[in-house]
C-alpha cells in the first residue's frame, strides 16, 4: 500500500507542477486555456473556478497530464477570440509557455533541496574508512580514520566538505567528468592538515555503478570495528562472538575500522574457494583477537561461504561495524537556497552527461529506470522519513525537467527546437516535416519506455 500511495503522490506532485508551469505562463501571456487535466482518459472529477474559462479535471490514468489551449490548428476559433489563441502569439510567448513546464520541475527541485538545507539533515561525518586494497585511494596513501576538511577539483578553489555524502557527491562528479580531486585531510596524530590527490581522471569510468566506489576505494565513512546484532544460529554466534565485541585483529591483519573488517570477511570467501578442490570449499577457522568488556580474548571464527552473482563471499551472520558518527548539516536562508540551486544544476548536468553517454554507447542502457523502479524507490524513501522523500522527489523532478527538454519532437524540447528553427529561418516547420518528426519522436520515446520497463522488471526479479 505504501508503494502505491507514495508512487501516486510522487507522480501527482510532479505532474501538477509541470502542467501548472504551462498553465500559469499561458495565462500570463494572454492565452485562453480551455482545460487543465491531471491524468488521461475519462475524467473522474471536473470543476471550474469562478469567472475563469478553464475546466480543471482529474483523469482515470494518472501517468501524465495536459493543458489544452485555444488553437486554430485544433479547432475553429471565433474571430473575436483569435487574439487569445496559442498559434497567434509571438514566438517568444509560445516558447515561454512550452519551456515553463520543465522549468517548473527544475524550480521545484531547487525549492525541495532548499527546504532540506534549511531544516537540516543528519549525515555521516567525512571521516574515511580504510580504503579498498589496491584502489585509487589506497595508492594515494589513504589509510583510514582521516577527516576530510576541504576538497577541490583541479583549477578550482578549495571548498569545505560538510559530510561524507558531500564528499561522495564530489567523487561521483569527478569520476564521471574525469577530473582529479584534491582532498585536504585533518585528524592525523600531529593535528596538521595534508593534501592528497585522487587521480579520478585515470579511472575511465563511464557510469556511476556499484563498482565505481570500489575502484576509487572509498566505500563509506569510518566506523568502529565492533560487532552489532548477532543472528541466532549464524556463524558469529556459533563461534562465540557477542554484540559489543571490538575486533582488533583477524589472523595477521590489524583491524582499523568496520569497513576493513567487512572487506577481510568478504575476501575470505574467495580465498576459501580458491583453496578448495571440487565443488565444496574447505573452510578453515579465522583467528580473531577481540576485546570484550575491556578484556582481550581470542576466538576461532568460521565464516559461512555463500555464492553472490557467481562469486564466493563469506558471511558471519552479524552486523559488522558500529554506526558512523553523524553531523547536522544545515544552511541559512540564502545559503540554503543557493545550495539548492547549485545541486539542481549539478544533477541536471550529470543527468545530461549520462544520457549522452548512453546515446553514444559509453554507458549502459541499464541506467534507464521506469515507473516500477520509481514506485519502489518512492516507497523506500517515504519509509525513511520526509527528508529522504523530499530528496528523492527533487531528484525525480530534475530528471523529469531534463527529460522534457530533450530535443525529441513529442517532448517540450522538441517544440522548442521547432521554435528555434522558426526564429532562425523566419518560417515554421512544415506540416509534412512535423508529421515525420512526430512519428520518429514517438518511436524513440516508446523504445526508451520499453527499455526502462525491461530494466525495471529485471531489477525486481533479480
pLDDT at 274 over 50: no
Name the residue among 194, 193, 176 with its Cα closest to residue 140: 194
pLDDT in tens, 82-132: 999 998 999 999 999 999 999 999 999 999 999 999 999 899 999 999 898
Alpha helices (H) along 124-257: 136-139, 164-177, 212-216, 235-238
Whole-number mean pLDDT of the chain? 86
- Return the SS3 of 302: coil
Range with the lowest mean pLDDT among 184-193, 257-266, 291-300, 382-391?
A: 184-193
Name the residue among 266, 272, 269 with its Cα closest to residue 321: 266
Q: What domains appear along the chain, each with residue ranges and CATH number?
A: 97-120+333-462 (no CATH), 136-216 (2.30.42.10), 227-322 (2.30.42.10)
Contact predicate 391/112, CB 8 Å? yes
Where do the DSSP E strands lie in 82-205? 121-124, 147-153, 159-160, 181-186, 194-198
Residue with cell 530533450: 406
Per-residue model confidence (pLDDT) at position 15: 92
What DSSP state is assigned to residue 33? E
- In angstroms, the CA 176 to CA 136 distance is 15
Catalytic residue of the set 19, 123, 146, 263: 19
- Whether the pTM exceeds 0.75: the reply is yes
Q: Which residues contact 251 (CB under 8 A, 6 or more apart)?
A: 286, 287
Higher pLDDT: 3 or 389? It is: 389
**Integer angstrom CA distances of residue 252 from 75, 130, 288, 289:** 81, 16, 9, 10
- In angstroms, the CA 327 to CA 323 distance is 13
Q: Which residues contact 66 (CB under 8 A, 6 or more apart)?
A: 19, 35, 37, 40
pLDDT at 282 over 70: no
Higher pLDDT: 61 or 310? It is: 61
pLDDT in tens, 372-383: 777 777 888 888
pLDDT in tens, 407-440: 888 889 988 998 998 888 888 887 788 788 888 8
- CA end-to-end span of the chain, whole Å? 22
pLDDT at 275 over 50: no
Q: What percent of the chain has pLDDT over 90?
A: 40
Pairing of strands 121-124, 304-308: unpaired
Contact predicate 369/376, CB 8 Å? no
Is 19 among the residues known to form the active site? yes
Amino acid at each position: 500500500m505504501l508503494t502505491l500511495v507514495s508512487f501516486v503522490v510522487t507522480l501527482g506532485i510532479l505532474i501538477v507542477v509541470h502542467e501548472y508551469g504551462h498553465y500559469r505562463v499561458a495565462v500570463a501571456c494572454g492565452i485562453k486555456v480551455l482545460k487543465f487535466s491531471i491524468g488521461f482518459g475519462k475524467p473522474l472529477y471536473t470543476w471550474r473556478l469562478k469567472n475563469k474559462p478553464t475546466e480543471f479535471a482529474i483523469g482515470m490514468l494518472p501517468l501524465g497530464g495536459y493543458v489544452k489551449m485555444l488553437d486554430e490548428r485544433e479547432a475553429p476559433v471565433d474571430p473575436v477570440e483569435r487574439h487569445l489563441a496559442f498559434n497567434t502569439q509571438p514566438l517568444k510567448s509560445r516558447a515561454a509557455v512550452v519551456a515553463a513546464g520543465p522549468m517548473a520541475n527544475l524550480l521545484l527541485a531547487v525549492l525541495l533541496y532548499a527546504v532540506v538545507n534549511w531544516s537540516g539533515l543528519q549525515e555521516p561525518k567525512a571521516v574515511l574508512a580504510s580504503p579498498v586494497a589496491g584502489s585509487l585511494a589506497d595508492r594515494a596513501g589513504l589509510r583510514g580514520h582521516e577527516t576530510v576538511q576541504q576538497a577541490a577539483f583541479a583549477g578550482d578553489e578549495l571548498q569545505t566538505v560538510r559530510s561524507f555524502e558531500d564528499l561522495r557527491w564530489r567523487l561521483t562528479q569527478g569520476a564521471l567528468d574525469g577530473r582529479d580531486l584534491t582532498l585536504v585531510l585533518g585528524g592525523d596524530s600531529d593535528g596538521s592538515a595534508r593534501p592528497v590527490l585522487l587521480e579520478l581522471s585515470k579511472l575511465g569510468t563511464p557510469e556511476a555503478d556499484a563498482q565505481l566506489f570500489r575502484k576509487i576505494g572509498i566505500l563509506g565513512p569510518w566506523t568502529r570495528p565492533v560487532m552489532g546484532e548477532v543472528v541466532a544460529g549464524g556463524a558469529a554466534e556459533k563461534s562465540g562472538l557477542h554484540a559489543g565485541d571490538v575486533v582488533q585483529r583477524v589472523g595477521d591483519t590489524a583491524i582499523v575500522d568496520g569497513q576493513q573488517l567487512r572487506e577481510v570477511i568478504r575476501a575470505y570467501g574467495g580465498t576459501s574457494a580458491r583453496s578448495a578442490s571440487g565443488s565444496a570449499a574447505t573452510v578453515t577457522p579465522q583467528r580473531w583477537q577481540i576485546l570484550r568488556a575491556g578484556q582481550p580474548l581470542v576466538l576461532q571464527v568460521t565464516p559461512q561461504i555463500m555464492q553472490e552473482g557467481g562469486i564466493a563471499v563469506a558471511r558471519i551472520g552479524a552486523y559488522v561495524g558500529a554506526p558512523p558518527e553523524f553531523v547536522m548539516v544545515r544552511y541559512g536562508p540564502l545559503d540554503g537556497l543557493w545550495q539548492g540551486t547549485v545541486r539542481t544544476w549539478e544533477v541536471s548536468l550529470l543527468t545530461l552527461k549520462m544520457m549522452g553517454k548512453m546515446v553514444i554507447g559509453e554507458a549502459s542502457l541499464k541506467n534507464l529506470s521506469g515507473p516500477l523502479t520509481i514506485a519502489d524507490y518512492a516507497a523506500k524513501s517515504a519509509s525513511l522519513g520526509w527528508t529522504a522523500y523530499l530528496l528523492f522527489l527533487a531528484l525525480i523532478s530534475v530528471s523529469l525537467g531534463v527529460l522534457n527538454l530533450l530535443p525529441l519532437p513529442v517532448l517540450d524540447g522538441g517544440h522548442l527546437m521547432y521554435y528555434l528553427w522558426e526564429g532562425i529561418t523566419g518560417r515554421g516547420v512544415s506540416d509534412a516535416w512535423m508529421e515525420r518528426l512526430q512519428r520518429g519522436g514517438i518511436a524513440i520515446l516508446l523504445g526508451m519506455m520499453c527499455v526502462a520497463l525491461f530494466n525495471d522488471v529485471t531489477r525486481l526479479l533479480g
